[in-house]
Amino acid sequence: MGEPYNPKEIEARWKDFWWERGFFRADIHDTERKFYYLNMFPYPSAKPHVGHGRNYILGDAITRYLLMRGYNVLNPMGWDAFGLPAENQAIRHGIHPRDWTMRNIAEFKRQFRDWGVVFDWDREIATCEPEYYKWTQWIFLKLYEHGLAYRAEAEVNYCPTCDTVLANEQAAGGRCERCNTPVEKKTLTQWFFRITAYAEELLRDLDDLDWPEHVKTMQRNWIGRSEGANVVFRSERGDEITVFTTRPDTLWGATFMVLAPEHPLVEKLTAPERRAEVEEYKRFAARQTEVERLSTEKEKTGVFIGAYAVNPVNGARIPIWIADYVLMTYGTGAIMAVPAHDARDFEFALKFGIPVIPVIAPPGGKAKSYVMAGTYREGLPGALREAGFAFEERDGALYVTLDEGDRERYIDLVRRYILPGSWTEVIGAGWQFVFSDSVLNVGSIEEEKAVLDKCRELEPSIRDKRTVAEMLWEVEFYRDLLFHDQRGTMINSGPLTGTPGDEAVKRTTEWLEEQGIGKFAVNYRLRDWLISRQRYWGAPIPIVYCDKCGIVPVPEEELPVLLPEVERIGLKGLAEIPEFVNTTCPTCGGPARRETDTMDTFVDSSWYYLRYISPHDDDKPFDPELVNAWLPVDLYVGGVEHAILHLLYSRFITKALRDLGYLSFGEPFARLFTQGMITYPAYWCPEHRWIPPAEVAEGKRCPHCGRDLEVSVVAMSKSKLNVVSPDELIERYGADTERLYTLFMGPPEKEIEWSEEGLRGAWRFLNRFWELLTGWIPRVKDAPAAFDPAALPEAARALWAKLNETIHRVTREFESERFGFNVAIAAIMEFTNALEDYLAKGEPDPALLRRAIRDLILLISPFTPFIAEELWSRLGEGGAVLEQDWPTYDEEALKLLAVEIPVQINGKVRARVKLPHDVAGDAEALKEAVLSAEEVRRHLAGRELVKVIAVPGKLVSLVVK
RNA sequence: GCCGGGGUGGCGGAAUUGGCAGACGCGCUGGACUCAGGAUCCAGUGGGGCAUAAACCCCGUGUGGGUUCGAAUCCCACCCCCGGCACCA
């Protein structure tokens, strides 16, 4: 009865309407009802696909809702336009990166328009424009002025594929974030931002952010705060070697020291006879890629440098080693090694024959003793049994497990049975060796040696064993007790012996401070942000090197330092353009050279949200008053892949600018929502590489060679040829269908697979919706607006109640944490179904129907704005959808309806009773009504009613016997 | 290994946060229209029992236990999956 749905025609009509009518232009001076909504701006690479759409469609829906709620919404868009892909294109095809980028930007903008996704285009920015990067350079200068940008020689990550250095964050796991190539280490002089100065604040402020927990956790892990102590050891010659440890309570168990191979003292301390080997090892360590070095699978390596250190707590003389498992970049680049209580040190000590001294009692209070066959006199098993010890006897050997408290009693007993020339051990809180003539403890390096010597003397077969630990390791039974890294009571620890595990670290730290040999210390995993990039397509670092004046910042009034226009970009970027490099010194006017590195593109994107406030201001990066009024961003939406990089850098820049006096807030994004990616099958043929899904026939074979294809469902990407283009789909079904399906697919924070069938479901719904509404609108256009819900017939009252419930459910999703528009749309579908049923039953109430249609159009409008705008214009109320108030929910409406109350009998639903709202809402009346209902009485016949629980409006639960 | 998030039909997922499990959609099955349909429309669809049907009953939210009149939801133990980090002292 309605018209056929023709989205092409409808969408063409409204495509430019919303922007032209100015609904999306924020009034920047009105901050009373402001709402700053922000999508992460894209890197404009090639054409957008339906996966990109998810982000922007979600934002557009939220923005439209907020506008109808009367907010002054700022929802700007811009382009993260500097970057490697553009430059690589340029090098390969001779296109200027700007041209390539601009072409892609145009493509994105066209796509947004087709999608009906509107932004405040007056505020568009592109980071590659001089009017933008002038201020990126300005920020660099400000940081430099305040010591937050500095140049230093450091070991850095270098990606041979991208031909540039990378920040730690961009080389996580030893691989280039962009191309996955293993990074190499190089020692270079580069520019850094001192993000570590903000480590503590970056960590602490996370607590108050309304961000997803997993993102906060990732940042916490990345910052990696740990508390402990710095302890000063000395070499035998007196050189101070400071170590950082999180376990000062294990200090008495240090049996060696390890320095990072690059540690400056290595040179000085290495004994002449060890030098060749040490140099060799240093070369070996430097040669490894980060991936190799970080591999935990790898066996420990290292060399002794021929020098000894003195443990300040007990004067023990311990050897100094170098090993690549100690990193120069963390802590002090040197560690004390406590093999008894650190897994890495244990592995190292076992391999290199270094003693292990237990200094922390293992939790659990159990000890073990293995008594070898033939080492004891007859009668021991019986004596043990009689004394109540638990043990197993296998092939004449005894495996005793005892409580720590029984240690003394056990030793007294077993000692009487041990044959001269033999021994047994008690392994637990401390290791004790029980000989027939003595009991020896392994509580220090000397004691360890004494025990070992004695055992080796008594038992020739173990003369190859270098340490007690190595000897004990042979006994499978003991293995789980030789090493542990838990907290426990301190043992063998001089004055602190006996300190319980829960205060051990604190008490030891205090003691160290009293003794003046150590200090409480905090360390972070976070390292300074390396921002230099040896590339062309980025913002030039505004620095000049003068032989006379040294490092000279480019004066503010000379900004921007423009990228030179060149015919063709070479592999060496700016360094191979003499016109750029050669300049004059701003200070002395003499000849000078420009810095040829450009900044990491993450610098560009670390402040763009500030620039939207005054995007075209040529005098300052942002208006201080407005920026403080509009920020922090109220809602920031983007992919979780930026959880560390972009989001951490932005937080740092915001805090730095605040401390420099430019901002009054310290966090840029008050609330963050991360949406999941859209995935699609990608097909891989070992010979023909990626195969577009459209070419893959039944059976998943390669169309070229017939080979079986490898299928993986992954995020859409151009390189894997598994993108779904919005163009064809909009051509066929219209943008509203894509929008509706995109939001209906599932909860937006979750990753989800695109499905053509699912899309058609949205298409079917919109057809039905369109036909229903266009059929009825002409008949209700002139119906009265006002009506009395209470006076409606029952079916109409039910529809009225359902409408109000629907408004409530849709509104709730906009106001919720999760933006569950899948549920909101389901509610709209449900109501549409209910409306169809109602209309099928007979003559509708015209006023109610008009109201239902009206609200329905408004409710669906954020999701499918085209169809909504078209239907609205036909309803004849005038104005545009975005000028209407969002429908409100009437609590009273539901009360007009009879309520169906489920009745549980012994926990199972046995009946349903329909009752008027006021009866169901009153506990007493409800109880009475239910108990007198026919179907309930049937179930109660002949049984004793024990208890009645009546929950008003919900249910009644009966307990019977 | 550590941290974070999860396990609900064939699938994506709902369930007003302790109150009718499986909304809505996809898929599937049957039917209608049709030369045809991978288009559209209608009906059915958690598993099982009973079975002509209505009705009724049992089981069921990863597993085992607990709290409660009542548990997908709360507590305890365990299993599995996903994501992040991982020689950071």
- DSSP label at residue A762: H
Question: Residue A150 carries which side chain, given as an amino acid letter?
Answer: Y
Question: Residue A701 carries which side chain, given as an amino acid letter?
Answer: R
CA angle A626, A629, A630 (to 5 degrees): 85
State yes or no: pLDDT of A606 exceeds 90: yes
Distances (CA, A) of A464 to A290, A348, A357, A435: 36, 18, 20, 21
Task: Answer whether A434's CB lies under 8 Å from A454's CB.
Answer: no
Could you read off the pLDDT of A734-774 as tens digits, one per residue? 999 999 999 999 999 999 999 999 999 999 999 999 999 99
Task: Answer whether A14's CB lies under 8 Å from A869's CB.
Answer: yes
Estimate in Å the CA A543 to C1' B16 gap, whole number: 61
Estimate in Å the CA A959 to C1' B60 gap, whole number: 23
Residue A622's Cβ-side half-sphere holds a number of Cα atoms within 13 Å equal to: 27
Look up the protein residue whose alpha carbon has the minimum distance to the C1' of B6.
A750
Q: Is the CB of A244 under 7 A from strand B?
A: yes
Q: Kindly indicate the confidence band of residue A708, based on its pLDDT and cuts at 50, 70 and 90.
A: confident
Task: Answer whether A481's CB lies under 8 Å from A369's CB.
Answer: no
Residue A537 is predicted with a pLDDT of 92
Supply A394's token pair. Answer: 């296998």
Q: Is the CB of A331 under 7 A from strand B?
A: yes
Q: Is the CB of A641 under 7 A from strand B?
A: no
According to DSSP, the residues that pair with A674 across neighbouring strands are A638
Q: Is the CB of A679 under 7 A from strand B?
A: no
Look up the protein residue whose alpha carbon has the minimum distance to the C1' of B24.
A826
What's the 3-state SS for A442-472? CCCHHHHHHHHHHHHHHCHHHCCCCCHHHHH
Distances (CA, A) of A113 to A17, A60, A77, A109: 10, 12, 13, 6
CA angle A59, A63, A64 (to 5 degrees): 120
Alpha helices in A622-734 (DSSP H): 624-630, 645-659, 726-733
Task: Answer whether A127's CB lies under 8 Å from A81's CB.
Answer: yes
Q: Kindly indicate the confidence band of residue A308, based on its pLDDT and cuts at 50, 70 and 90.
A: very high
CA angle A852, A858, A861 (to 5 degrees): 135
Q: Which nucleotide is nearest to A300 (CA to C1')?
A: B87
Long-range contacts of A618-621 (CB under 8 A, 24+ apart): A618/A131, A621/A135, A621/A138, A621/A139, A621/A662
Sheet strands (E) in A464-599 = 518-523, 529-530, 532-533, 543-546, 550-553, 582-584, 591-594, 598-599
Residue A78 is predicted with a pLDDT of 97
User: What count of other Cβ atoms lies within 10 Å of the Cβ of residue A453?
Assistant: 10
Instruction: List phi, psi (to 5°) of A843.
Output: -65, 120
State yes or no: pLDDT of A890 exceeds 90: no
Q: Is the CB of A377 under 7 A from strand B?
A: no
Look up the protein residue whose alpha carbon has the minimum distance to the C1' of B68.
A907
Q: Is the CB of A576 under 7 A from strand B?
A: no
Q: Is the CB of A837 under 7 A from strand B?
A: no
State yes or no: pLDDT of A565 exceeds 70: yes
Residue A724 is predicted with a pLDDT of 92
Mean pLDDT of A852-861: 96
Estimate in Å the CA A745 to C1' B46 gap, whole number: 22
Task: Answer whether A270's CB lies under 8 Å from A278's CB.
Answer: yes
According to DSSP, the residues that pair with A335 across neighbouring strands are A258
Which of chain A's residues 66-85 bind strand B, using a 7 Å CB cutoff?
A: none
Question: Residue A320 carries which side chain, given as an amino acid letter?
Answer: I
Residues A397, A414: Cα–Cα separation, whole Å: 13
The interface predicted TM-score (ipTM) is 0.94
Question: Residue A646 carries which side chain, given as an amino acid letter?
Answer: H
State yes or no: pLDDT of A938 exceeds 80: no
Distances (CA, A) of A267 to A185, A277, A327, A485, A841: 20, 12, 17, 32, 94
Q: Is the CB of A921 under 7 A from strand B?
A: no
Q: Is the CB of A764 under 7 A from strand B?
A: yes
Instruction: List phi, psi (to 5°) of A353.
Output: 70, 45
Q: Which nucleotide is nearest to A327 (CA to C1')?
A: B88
Look up the protein residue whose alpha carbon has the minimum distance to the C1' of B38.
A757
Residues A296, A344: Cα–Cα separation, whole Å: 10
Which of chain A's residues 467-496 bind strand B, using a 7 Å CB cutoff?
A: none
State yes or no: pLDDT of A326 exceeds 70: yes
Mean pLDDT of chain A: 91
Q: Which bases of strand B sit closer than 7 A to a protein CB?
A: 3-5, 12-15, 19-21, 23-27, 39-41, 57-58, 69-71, 83-89
Q: Which nucleotide is nearest to A245 (CA to C1')?
A: B89
Look up the protein residue whose alpha carbon has the minimum distance to the C1' of B27.
A757
Q: Which nucleotide is nearest to A217 (CA to C1')?
A: B4
Estimate in Å the CA A425 to C1' B88 gap, whole number: 36
Residues A72, A70: Cα–Cα separation, whole Å: 7
State yes or no: pLDDT of A687 exceeds 80: yes
**A424: nearest Cα among A369, A468, A465:** A369
Estimate in Å the CA A822 to C1' B72 gap, whole number: 20
Estimate in Å the CA A742 to C1' B21 gap, whole number: 27
Distances (CA, A) of A362 to A340, A421, A484, A634, A772: 10, 30, 7, 50, 74
Long-range contacts of A813-822 (CB under 8 A, 24+ apart): A814/A62, A814/A65, A814/A862, A818/A747, A818/A748, A818/A749, A819/A58, A819/A62, A819/A673, A819/A748, A820/A747, A820/A748, A821/A58, A821/A61, A821/A743, A821/A744, A821/A748, A821/A863, A822/A743, A822/A744, A822/A745, A822/A746, A822/A747
Estimate in Å the CA A479 to C1' B74 gap, whole number: 41
Q: Kindly indicate the confidence band of residue A295, based on its pLDDT and cuts at 50, 70 and 90.
A: low
Residues A456, A453: Cα–Cα separation, whole Å: 5
Residue with tokens 């961009």: A170
Could you read off the pLDDT of A827-856 as tens digits, one per residue? 999 999 999 999 988 889 999 999 999 999
Could you read off the pLDDT of A645-663 as tens digits, one per residue? 899 999 999 999 999 999 9
Sheet strands (E) in A538-624 = 543-546, 550-553, 582-584, 591-594, 598-599
Which of chain A's residues 164-223 bind strand B, using a 7 Å CB cutoff?
A: 172-173, 213-214, 217-218, 221-222
End-to-end Cα separation, chain A, in angstroms = 58
Estimate in Å the CA A754 to C1' B28 gap, whole number: 20
Instruction: List phi, psi (to 5°) of A797.
Output: -65, -40
Q: Is the CB of A228 under 7 A from strand B?
A: yes
State yes or no: pLDDT of A180 exceeds 80: no
Residue with tokens 């300074």: A528
Q: Kindly indicate the confidence band of residue A296, based on its pLDDT and cuts at 50, 70 and 90.
A: low
Sheet strands (E) in A323-365 = 334-337
Q: In this prediction, what percent of chain A has a pLDDT beyond 70?
A: 99
**A689: nearest Cα among A722, A720, A723, A725:** A720
Look up the protein residue whose alpha carbon has the minimum distance to the C1' of B86.
A296
Residue A918 is predicted with a pLDDT of 81
Model-wide pTM > 0.90: yes
Q: Is the CB of A959 under 7 A from strand B?
A: yes
Mean pLDDT of A5-23: 95
Residues A768, A864: Cα–Cα separation, whole Å: 14
Considering only A104-108, A168-172, A464-468, which range has the smallest mean pLDDT?
A: A168-172
Mean pLDDT of A237-247: 94
Residues A798, A795: Cα–Cα separation, whole Å: 5
Q: Is the CB of A746 under 7 A from strand B?
A: yes
Task: Answer whether A682's CB lies under 8 Å from A690's CB.
Answer: yes
Look up the protein residue whose alpha carbon has the minimum distance to the C1' of B85.
A221
Could you read off the pLDDT of A186-233 as tens digits, one per residue? 888 899 999 999 999 999 999 889 998 889 988 998 999 999 999 999
Task: Answer whether A545's CB lies under 8 Å from A552's CB.
Answer: yes
Estimate in Å the CA A169 to C1' B2 gap, whole number: 20
Distances (CA, A) of A14 to A8, A736, A881: 10, 12, 12
Q: Is the CB of A835 under 7 A from strand B?
A: no
Q: Is the CB of A2 under 7 A from strand B?
A: no
Could you read off the pLDDT of A108-162 as tens digits, one per residue? 999 999 999 999 999 999 999 999 999 999 999 999 999 999 999 887 888 888 7
Question: Residue A690 carries which side chain, given as an amino acid letter?
Answer: W
Cβ burial, residue A366 (10 Å; 0-12/13-18/19+): middle
Task: Answer whether A654's CB lies under 8 Å from A665's CB.
Answer: yes
Residues contacting residue A957 through CB under 8 Å, at least 6 positions apart: A903, A904, A907, A948, A949, A950, A951
Estimate in Å the CA A392 to C1' B80 gap, whole number: 36
Could you read off the pLDDT of A511-564 as tens digits, one per residue? 999 999 999 999 999 999 999 988 899 999 999 999 999 999 999 999 899 999
Cα A381 → chain centroid: 58
Could you read off the pLDDT of A696-706 as tens digits, one per residue? 766 677 888 87
Look up the protein residue whose alpha carbon has the minimum distance to the C1' of B71.
A907
Supply A864's token pair. Answer: 């499918």
Q: Which helix (H) or strand (E) holds A848?
A: helix A846-860
Q: Is the CB of A226 under 7 A from strand B?
A: yes
According to DSSP, the residues that pair with A807 across neighbouring strands are none
